[in-house]
Amino acid sequence: MAANKGKSSCSKCGKPFVGLIITKAFAAFFAIYFFAMFFFNLLVTGDDWLREQLSFMEPIMPFSWEYIPLAFIALIIGMPIIMAGIVPAIEKRHRTGNGLACKECQGIIAREQADAAEMARAKQEAQAYAYQAKIEGLEKNDPWLGKLIRSWKQDNPNQLPEESMIDELIMARNMEKAGNYEKAAVLLEKYRFWEEAGRMRRLDDQQVIKHITVDMNTLIDQVGTKGLAIPYKCSSCGASITIDKDSKKEGLKFCSYCGTAYNIDDMTKIIQHALE
């Protein structure tokens, strides 16, 4: 029955909780006794012969019809008081973080928990210190990363950048090395390094321009071979230039009158059309 539920000894040293065991034993005895009182009185009421047979129990068990409701009341009032009131109250005195423990062990467990917490705190502190030293090392020894970290610290006083940020900045640098400037710019933007992201994007543009001017040189060569003179009009100010064998690729980038960048795609199409 319910009295046997749960442990009645210290979870650390195994010492039994005598008070708890006695209370549970008493609860079991209480329940059995009053249940028997209820049951036998129900049985013998109006049956004198049976009552005669059970008379040997009379020293410990009274027989009369009033004991039927009395036993019933004792059970429905007494059992909840013991099982829901007294037993939990005793258990509570032995309760620790996990399971029940005796007085001495409670002290030991509390000390162990305090030690563990202290160890964890010290470990965390050491890790934080090591990380701070690592960031300071990067600031000092890595010019590019150091500059970014210092500017980040200015925007976030009394804070350290997260490890993931450092990793992604290093990734951005690798992307720059690999020529993937757009990816590098996206990574830098994530941490609000607008200027550095802008520098990456300009590198990206230069790469495109370089690629196009190579094509442009070939086109001008072909224009020269065919002896063509192709007029081209600035879309911004309307000024005209002529593309012929003497055109230099630098002269075909920006309008010399208004400074607007020529639309390289347009210009390429016009020249290609003239060459057909």
State the residues that interact with Zn ion by CB under 5 A. 10, 12-13, 15, 102, 105, 234, 236-237, 239, 255, 257-258
Q: How far is the CB of 119 from Zn ion (least distance, A)?
A: 23
Q: How far is the CB of 123 from Zn ion (least distance, A)?
A: 29
Q: How far is the CB of 274 from Zn ion (least distance, A)?
A: 20
Choice between 80 and 107, CB closer to Zn ion: 107
Q: Please give the single-letter amino acid code of residue 260.
A: T
Q: How far is CA 91 from CA 33, 108, 190, in A?
A: 25, 18, 55
Q: How far is the CB of 51 from Zn ion (least distance, A)?
A: 51
Q: How far is CA 177 from CA 167, 172, 180, 183, 185, in A?
A: 15, 9, 8, 11, 13
Q: How far is the CB of 268 from Zn ion (least distance, A)?
A: 18
Residue 159's SS3 state is coil
Choice between 213 and 236, CB closer to Zn ion: 236
Choice between 180 and 236, CB closer to Zn ion: 236
Choice between 130 and 261, CB closer to Zn ion: 261
Interacting residues of 31 by C-beta distance below 8 A, sequence separation 6+? 1, 3, 75, 79
Whether 92 contacts 106, CB under 8 Å: no
Please state, in angstroms and rounded to a whole number, the distance separating the CA atoms of residues 136 and 156.
15
- Distance in angstroms between the alpha carbons of the first and the last residue of the chain: 102
Choice between 10 and 185, CB closer to Zn ion: 10
